[in-house]
Structure 1
């Protein structure tokens, strides 16, 4: 049975992503307090896989997670896009008029800003994750406190829903990476997407030359993200996601990029199946 590390506890969105991606497999959860703890477990091979959120359609990219992937030299072997629906939940018998404080993960607050703004008198307090906030209320029978979490969390911890679908934008998705220790062999039988990290010269035209090369091989770039290089002020790594239909074009692209003198280093962070086509 595989052991899968997630950030959070049962009922959180990472748990939902793991359940969906590994739905035909038996697995055991390793609940992690932080993303760094998750990355550490995967890097040390204490678990078989990790599930890590990387970006949300409302809140944007989780930049620190890209740094963790590089720091711990983790391999991306898959991805999944999950619809995120937030609920305001509380100990049974409460009404919104009773609530003095809302607790949840910072990303959940970012995704529910309009709802939160309608209750300016209610205190907002950050919590380690959405499901842990729900568990805290349930375990301690806390009244006058509500959590922003999933419907699954309300069921898991016996809480009542005060409001449903409180996310600012209904078409709200989070992209999760499935990650593994880079030293453990994992063969994807089919892949049509790759994540690359590029370190390039800080000179005019260096990035555009690489992007033009990618385009010339009829490869579609779906994301580009600049991340500051630690200990090198004003220098950046570029994380690029690409999708391709022709594996030969992809292999040719990799060989040609490596020949570009402006490129200091290219790392293939993962080759996997496009999660949007699942």
Structure 2
């Protein structure tokens, strides 16, 4: 099978940018309308890898994507971080005063809330993809409507940037995961990071005990995220990212932790994208 990567969105989207940077600019992509479609692309073998945003430094974690990864037994094979620059763009010859509506992905709109506070009359409309909105505007000749997307999207679809870098935090960045179907591909070389799912026993101090074990073995926890266990009200699963130096130590720690959990699942062992 020719190597292909599933992305949420189309050419010019941030997912497309990540696929090119991680796999090489010539990598074929399967353009998917939603994150659920990205998963379906993997499970039906339309693609053998996928790129999925998991958290943004301004807007926070995309919680439903944890469920998609967990429920479908996807494996994390790597991660990639990119700075996110949001640009307001429209058909050429217009000013911001001509714009009535701004359409984009809900996470993109959320990342630019401070900018839009200065334009209270603008109607903000959620769409499935940043670049797809840019393409719709160009193909439909839609005036009075702006997209919020990357500079690359403006170049590909021939739109004019009305205002650049409108994100609230100028150091705005997004973390993307590189995924495969379960047991589809081998573990990354030089791995030094692990993503785990824990469901703890209903005992007082269970989480503290886990954190103390990580500390005692000098594992550096870089993220912890709680997600409700849908089947059991008021019960939570915890998704953890930890850094390690020796994989043997990691597995020794997991052996100790396993006895303190109702469920321990390794979502992936891979190379830290920040190093």
TM-score (norm 2): 0.97
Q: Per the alignment, in what secondary structure is the counterpart of residue 167 of structure 1?
A: coil
Distance 2:270 2:58 in 1: 24
Distance 2:253 2:183 in 1: 25
Range moving further from structure 2, 194-203 or 166-175:
194-203
Q: Look up the match of 2:229.
A: 229
Q: Look up the match of 1:264.
A: 262
- Structure 2: tracts of 5 or more residues without a match: none
Q: Per the alignment, in what secondary structure is the counterpart of residue 2 of structure 1?
A: coil
Q: Give the deviation of 1:258 after TM superposition.
A: 1.8
Q: Give the deviation of 1:206 after TM superposition.
A: 0.7
Distance 2:251 2:202 in 1: 26
Distance 2:220 2:168 in 1: 30
The aligned runs of 1:48-127 (5 Å cut-off) are 48-127=48-127
Contact 2:221 2:243 in 1 (8 A): yes
Q: Look up the match of 1:16.
A: 17
Distance 2:109 2:264 in 1: 36
TM-score (norm 1): 0.96
Contact 2:187 2:270 in 1 (8 A): no
Q: Give the deviation of 1:45 after TM superposition.
A: 2.3
The aligned runs of 1:1-278 (5 Å cut-off) are 1-23=2-24, 26-260=26-260, 263-277=261-275
Q: Per the alignment, in what secondary structure is the counterpart of residue 4 of structure 2?
A: strand
Distance 1:70 1:134 in 2: 32
CA RMSD of superposed structures (Å): 1.0
Distance 1:56 1:68 in 2: 18
Distance 2:184 2:122 in 1: 48
Distance 1:142 1:266 in 2: 51
Q: Give the deviation of 1:26 after TM superposition.
A: 4.0
Distance 1:202 1:150 in 2: 46
How many residue pairs are counted as aligned between the two chains?
274
Q: Per the alignment, in what secondary structure is the counterpart of residue 238 of structure 1?
A: strand
Distance 1:80 1:220 in 2: 19
Range moving further from structure 2, 42-51 or 112-121:
42-51
Contact 1:2 1:26 in 2 (8 A): no
